Amino acid sequence: MPFDVETIAVLGALGVGVGAVGTLVGAGGGFLLAPVLLLLYPHDSPQTLTSISLAAVLANSASGSVAYLRQRRVDVRSGLVFGAATLPGSVGGALAVSAVPRHVFDAIMAGALGAVAVWIARHGSGQRIARRRDGTERRLVDAGGTEWTYRVSLRRGAFYSVFVGFASSFLGIGGGVFHVPILVAGLGFPTHVATATSHFVLVLMSGTAVITHAVEGSYSVGHGLRRSIVLAAGVAVGAQIGARLSLRVPARAIERLLAAALVLVAVRLAIFV
């Protein structure tokens, strides 16, 4: 696909849509963008496409985090610990993707997205998860006066985050698609706090992966830098839309949207493997 006005318009619109949905579900949009890029650019390498996707995820998560911080929905302390734990894996995943053939990468992507969709469908809302008694108690009051009280095991969350960092950087999907289910079903976070905190973690994780790809020269291939800039601008706008919508959408609806989107892109991608 040449880099012309039509391409800019398509990528910009794609960025807005991905940014809105990604912020709404706290997944950074990469879980949608990476498979779409695989379909739009069938001859590009996984390294090139994951680097572009991660740049857009960085823009999305940074923009969304600003909105969520204003809403006071981010568990900053937990986010800093989990974000730091993702960094080694983020670097490793960005380096490892260059060694994987394109057809193998496509199959791995479809399988990963489908597996996460099944996980969400089985575990559902955090309201159905037993309250944890271990860890440190958290009390969060957002800008609208809603209060959440829950407990967090920072050690367990950091352990999970090490693997999230690698998988998300390797696949170019940002990590929120893995992190939100883990925060809700594995650590007992309220869903809205999980989506906001996940975005905060994504800034650290995707930023590290983007720097690694830049050093590796991933953005110098196939208009990679130009495509990244256009998509990043679109997702930054879409992230603000998604953050506002999150104030009006019930937690269970967010989870159903995430699961449905994952199934859709997994099936679609599997057809073209």
Per-residue pLDDT of the chain (273 residues; tens, 9 = 90+): 566 788 888 888 988 888 787 777 666 677 778 878 887 888 888 898 899 888 888 887 888 888 889 999 999 999 999 999 999 999 999 999 989 998 888 888 888 878 877 766 765 544 444 455 667 888 898 888 889 888 888 999 999 999 999 988 998 887 777 788 788 878 888 888 988 898 899 899 999 999 999 998 888 876 778 888 898 888 888 888 887 887 777 756 766 776 777 787 777 767 765
Q: What pLDDT shows up at residue 126?
A: 43
Q: What pLDDT shows up at residue 74?
A: 94
Q: What are residue 137's DSSP bridge partners?
A: 151
pTM across the whole model: 0.80
Q: CA nearest 3: which of 172, 155, 222?
A: 222
How does 28-49 read in b/e, with b if 16+ C-beta sit within 10 Å? bbbbbbbbbbbeebeebbbbbb
Q: CA nearest 166: which of 97, 74, 119?
A: 97
Distance of CA 59 to the CA centre of its chain: 11
Alpha helices in the chain (DSSP H): 5-25, 30-40, 46-71, 76-96, 102-123, 154-171, 176-181, 191-216, 224-245, 251-271
- What is the DSSP secondary structure assignment for residue 2, as one 8-state letter? -
Q: What pLDDT shows up at residue 195?
A: 83
Contacts of 248 (CB under 8 A, 6+ apart): none
